[in-house]
Structure 1
Amino acid sequence: MKESSIQYRVFRIMAAQPKVVPLEGEIDLHVSPRVTTTLNAAVKAKPRNLVIDMENVSYIDSSGLAVLIEAMQKVEKYGGKFALAGLQENVKPIFEIARLDQVFQIYPDVDSALSRE
């Protein structure tokens, strides 16, 4: 019985830690459902901070943006913080045109996102 108590405490500590979800490739209509599944699993753990590492994302379309918006809304609903990190130069304009650079907290890299308060 004591062992399960320890496991529970470890789980609780881990759940409170920041979580980083790396994405890569092109996030479009065909890939968005898999990204949704991945982000929903991350959100379900209710991390205090959820950082999406976009360093290896070469393209994102409106369906990908919608997935990120939905994840951000879910995190904010339970009081967590959501951030994007490492947007490539060719991906940044997509966020700027949609004015989502004013909606998302965007950091140059994961370390910067994790060190925010």
Structure 2
Amino acid sequence: MSVSPNGVAAERGDGYVLVRLSGEVDLSWSQEVRRAVLDALAAGTPVGVELSAVSYIDSSGIAALVEGFQQARQNGGRFALVAVSDAVRAVLELARLDRVFVILPSADALLAA
């Protein structure tokens, strides 16, 4: 059985930056996720974090997302979670963060958010 590797990649769209995450977001690489999110926010455009390929997220990964949300809010930017996997959605709902984050079905909806 092969395990999907952890990955983080930022892609520039038409007027936004999409940070795509995959694998398990845990303490071993949540700092890399944090840096990617904050770097994307520095571009000054709306930022989405795509989570469709994330199979697990722990509190350090959630903290990286919350920090991105707070940074965007402080600077008047837009920040959303995109295509959230069932595993991530369960954690967000448990922490009631599904009521805090803007959650979009696709990156295309990012500009309209």
Equivalent residue number for residue 43 of structure 2: 45
> For structure 2, which runs of at least 5 residues remain unmatched after alignment?
1-11
Indicate if the aligned counterparts of 2:55 and 2:87 stay in contact, CA closer than 8 A.
yes
1:55 Cα deviation after fit: 1.2
Structure with bigger helix share is 1
One-letter amino acid matched to 1:67: A
1:109 Cα deviation after fit: 2.1
3-state SS in 1 of match to 2:87: coil
Deviations 1:10-59 (A, max 9, x none): xxxx8x92111111111001110111111121112221x11111111111
- How many residue pairs get matched? 101
In percent, how many aligned pairs have the same letter?
Answer: 39
Equivalent residue number for residue 17 of structure 1: 15
Question: Structure 1: which 4+ aligned runs deviate by more than 6 Å?
Answer: none
Equivalent residue number for residue 112 of structure 2: 116
Scaled by the length of structure 2, what TM-score is found? 0.81
1:76 Cα deviation after fit: 1.2
Indicate if the aligned counterparts of 1:85 and 1:107 stay in contact, CA closer than 8 A.
yes
Indicate if the aligned counterparts of 1:84 and 1:107 stay in contact, CA closer than 8 A.
yes
1:1-117 map, 5 Å: 17-47=15-45, 49-112=46-109, 114-117=110-113
Structure of higher CA gyration radius: 1
Deviations 1:35-92 (A, max 9, x none): 1111121112221x11111111111101100000001111111111110011111221
User: 1: CA distance between counterparts of 2:66 and 2:91?
Assistant: 14
One-letter amino acid matched to 1:58: S
Scaled by the length of structure 1, what TM-score is found? 0.79
